[in-house]
Structure 1
């Protein structure tokens, strides 16, 4: 039986979303890779094409509307996805005709509220800031870890901050907006660095003003993406910890911007941004296991 999916995106960061109450979904890594594979430009065979696959399961705990699972396009299950979280929150609120919702993930409970027409605010919880929460292979001050790219005496990039938003992030601060070439070259190098035993998402943040960050993110298991919600949260937290931005800032990707607040009252990270519903479809039989 083919399974129905929704194709959604947040600032171009795109997802294949399935609800599992009426259609079980327990994919292998190979299934995820087949779904996520993008058709080639020369007409070669591909799947639906996406950065992540998301399953919305029935709730497992009181007070939650669902339990949500995320997979990167390489087939690995991941703890959180900020843009995907907004999409899920919007779907759950639309289906229940509510203006707020809470749901659980492997990274903990997340919640969202409607902030406008297809505009959603989500509470991403508190960031993990200890070295063993990222995790790192050894103890370091995560405000600026001992890592550099380039010549030892004159590194191109150095002393990035580290933040866990339910998934690990390292954030380099750069003097000018990062190019795709920089993000691809350095991101692919750092993603599997021995300092990060679970791999890492790599951000390149340019501080344009105290309320404005320009960002590119190389996502663990997905590569260079149009936008990354948890990456935006991590960049803002890392910048605030270094005294580079105020508590609320616009985090801008080439595809659009998110508003991120690292709330002082309880330490939670609050993200506001748009969602887009692209189309509905059926998974091919060969990847509908």
Structure 2
């Protein structure tokens, strides 16, 4: 059996196993994810992230992400922040602006560095996709929430009881209104204006945080008049700052696009190790 070096990282408690597949290819990512993500018999994680070199000039690196059940996801905001820290920390790039190719398109990572250490990362998550999905879902008996796609589907429910995430989230993930299943967010506007959010992530269950889920929650709050264009999303594992950009602007030499959602938050190394494939 071959040895596969890996790095365990987390973004606000949303933990994944990261492998540089440009150097160490994974034969069967689905099987590897299920085995390695097991919290009793494996390393324990919300899934597996594969980092590769891009063959496209428009992107610097690639990302594939698999949920703990082996299903492949389109994108993960927390994982993309961790990739930025991984690439810079491992000396794989000196760039502080990285273009990452995902199944949801190219995402731009802006690294915030202090003393040569990546302290936080801002991710251009792109434009939310709204279309008429909410009307479609309401016609199928789900009118208690707002549907927002951030490249993957989210259904955001504002409620006094965010702790229903387990029971209600499990049933809604597989609701007929969501033919590809769905991530479910339960959110509450706090007295200080922050938004307390708990997440049922499709394929993984309850997670400590979800970057795309935080973005979807912030967009849903703005759409329903519960918040402005900037929100603090307080999840089980930490807080993410989300801005749904209202106008084009430049900040510190970086261009922010109208209608794009920008997520800023931490990323942390946990440990390195080796796995048998």
Per the normalisation by structure 1, the TM-score is 0.85
CA-CA distance at 1:58 after TM superposition = 1.2
What residue is the counterpart of 1:227 in the other structure?
Answer: 209
Contact 1:145–1:160 (8 Å) recurs in 2: no
The alpha-carbon distance between structure 1 residues 93 and 211, as it changes in their structure 2 partners (threshold 3 A), is farther
Contact 1:260–1:271 (8 Å) recurs in 2: yes
What residue is the counterpart of 1:49 in the other structure?
Answer: 44
In 2, Cα distance between equivalents of 1:58 and 1:240 = 36
Give 1 or 2: higher strand fraction. 2
CA-CA distance at 1:209 after TM superposition = 5.1
Match status 1:69 vs 2:64: yes
Q: 2:97 aligns with which of 95, 100, 107?
A: 100
CA-CA distance at 1:163 after TM superposition = 0.7
Unmatched tracts of structure 1, length 5 or more: 40-45, 149-157
Q: 1:186 aligns with which of 168, 191, 200?
A: 168
Unmatched tracts of structure 2, length 5 or more: 248-257
Q: 1:264 aligns with which of 226, 246, 251?
A: 246
Per the normalisation by structure 2, the TM-score is 0.89
What residue is the counterpart of 1:276 in the other structure?
Answer: 268
Contact 2:29–2:66 (8 Å) recurs in 1: no
In 1, Cα distance between equivalents of 2:99 and 2:139 = 34
In 2, Cα distance between equivalents of 1:48 and 1:241 = 40
CA-CA distance at 1:81 after TM superposition = 0.5
Q: C-alpha offsets along residues 3-27 of structure 1, whole Å, 9 cap, x if unaligned?
A: 1110000111100000111111242
Contact 1:51–1:222 (8 Å) recurs in 2: yes
What residue is the counterpart of 2:157 in the other structure?
Answer: 172
The alpha-carbon distance between structure 1 residues 147 and 203, as it changes in their structure 2 partners (threshold 3 A), is farther
- Total equivalences in the alignment: 260
In 2, Cα distance between equivalents of 1:217 and 1:22 = 34
